[in-house]
């Protein structure tokens, strides 16, 4: 189904690309169809334009262009059902964008409102499984893994290890029991001990894990840890209220007819 929507979207893109005066750099070509830099920039936000993201987008475009051209050969680009679905999809896309624009600035949240929501819904902030807060390092070199372990152990002596985190791109993360591969899951959750474990050998390499904290199933998630989730929930609630109010207002000021059989 996702591919169908992509193909329908490409129908619009291709139709427009042949009528435009776009003279920007050509990134890809499939027979007569072109993907230009201008088209890519209109499809991807600036933060989505890393080298790998652009490469993936171009290769996906080529694959979809090939399939779209084949679909046209059997007349699917003129299929009335697909064209109607394309129109409906485009309308929903525009409506979604409009609502996002109208509700983007909705907030009005205070720390008090977040604390109030937390207290009122405290039963919903219980952990469903064991969790561990940790830092996970992986390398394909056993000597390197042993050196990482030594540096992590020495951190308690006051030695800075910020550079270690930077080099390996490691952040502090929370993982749930059962989400790690079995070899790591067994070590991390086998007891209550904290500290550095490893190197642990898997088919992915050598792992060193610094376990900072563990939380048991059924324990309460503190407000600090739940803050972001609560914020997003309340933002969503406010956006829904704003959207409903907007729609009601527009309905009152529009000439609407609905067949009595479907009222």
Consecutive H or E run containing 35: strand 33-36
Average pLDDT over residues 37-49: 85
Q: What is the model's pLDDT at position 15?
A: 43
Q: What is the model's pLDDT at position 252?
A: 86
**pLDDT band for position 263 (50/70/90)?**
low
Average pLDDT over residues 45-68: 87
Q: What is the model's pLDDT at position 101?
A: 78
Q: How far apart are CA 174 and CA 129, in angstroms?
A: 12
pLDDT (tens digit per residue) in 205-241: 888 888 888 888 888 888 888 888 888 888 888 888 8
Of 66 and 16, the structure prediction assigns the larger pLDDT to 66
Q: What is the model's pLDDT at position 190?
A: 85
Q: What is the model's pLDDT at position 156?
A: 54
- Strands 33-36 and 26-30, sheet pairing: antiparallel
**pLDDT band for position 1 (50/70/90)?**
very low
pLDDT (tens digit per residue) in 145-155: 888 888 888 77
Residue 199 has pLDDT above 80, yes or no: yes
Q: What is the model's pLDDT at position 237?
A: 82
Q: What is the model's pLDDT at position 4?
A: 45
Q: What is the model's pLDDT at position 11?
A: 44
Across 92-106, 138-152, 180-194, least confident range: 92-106
| Residue 121 DSSP code | T
Residue 246 has pLDDT above 50, yes or no: yes
Residues 6+ apart with CB under 8 A from 118: 125, 223, 226, 230
Residue 12 has pLDDT above 70, yes or no: no
Residue pair 133/173 in contact (Cβ under 8 Å)? The answer is: yes
Q: What is the model's pLDDT at position 160?
A: 58
Burial class (CB in 10 A: 0-12, 13-18, 19+), 208: buried
Q: How far apart are CA 210 and CA 145, in angstroms?
A: 12
Q: What single string gives the DSSP state of each residue in 166-226?
A: HHHT---EEEETTSS-HHHHHHHTSSS--EEEEEEEETTEEEEEEEEEEE-TTPBPPHHHH
* C-alpha separations of 13 from 24, 79, 119, 127 in Å: 16, 18, 50, 47
Q: What mean pLDDT, rounded, does the chain reach?
A: 80
Q: What is the model's pLDDT at position 66?
A: 87
- List domains and CATH numbers for the chain: 2-102 (no CATH), 127-215 (3.10.50.40)
pLDDT (tens digit per residue) in 57-99: 888 888 888 888 888 888 888 888 888 888 888 888 888 888 7
Estimate the crossing angle of helix 111-120 against helix 223-252, to 10 degrees: 100
Of 103 and 74, the structure prediction assigns the larger pLDDT to 74
**What tokens does 59 get?**
């290769």
- The rounded percent of the chain whose pLDDT value lies above 70 is 86
Closest CA to 149 of 200, 217, 212: 200
């Amino acid at each position: 189904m996702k591919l169908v929507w992509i193909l329908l979207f490409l129908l619009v893109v291709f139709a427009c690309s042949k009528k435009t005066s776009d003279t920007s750099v050509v990134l890809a070509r499939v027979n007569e169809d072109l993907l230009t830099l201008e088209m890519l920039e209109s499809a991807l936000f600036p933060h989505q334009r890393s080298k790998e993201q652009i490469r993936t987008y171009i290769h996906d475009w080529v694959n979809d262009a090939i399939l779209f051209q084949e679909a046209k050969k059997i007349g699917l680009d003129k299929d009335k059902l697909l064209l109607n679905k394309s129109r409906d999809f485009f309308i929903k896309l525009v409506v979604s964008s409009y609502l996002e624009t109208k509700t983007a600035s909705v907030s009005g949240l205070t720390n008090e409102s977040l604390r109030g929501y937390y207290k009122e819904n405290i039963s919903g902030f219980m952990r469903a499984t064991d969790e561990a807060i940790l830092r996970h390092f992986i390398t394909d070199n056993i000597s390197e893994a042993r050196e990482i372990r030594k540096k992590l152990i020495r951190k308690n002596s006051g030695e800075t290890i910020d550079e270690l985190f930077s080099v390996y791109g490691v952040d502090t993360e929370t993982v749930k029991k059962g989400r790690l591969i079995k070899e790591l899951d067994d070590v991390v959750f086998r007891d209550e001990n904290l500290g550095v474990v490893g190197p642990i050998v898997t088919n992915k390499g050598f792992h060193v894990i610094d376990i900072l904290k563990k939380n048991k199933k059924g324990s309460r998630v503190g407000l600090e840890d739940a803050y972001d989730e609560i914020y997003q929930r309340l933002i969503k609630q406010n956006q829904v209220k704003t959207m409903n109010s907007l729609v009601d207002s527009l309905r009152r000021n529009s000439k609407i007819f609905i067949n009595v059989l479907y009222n």
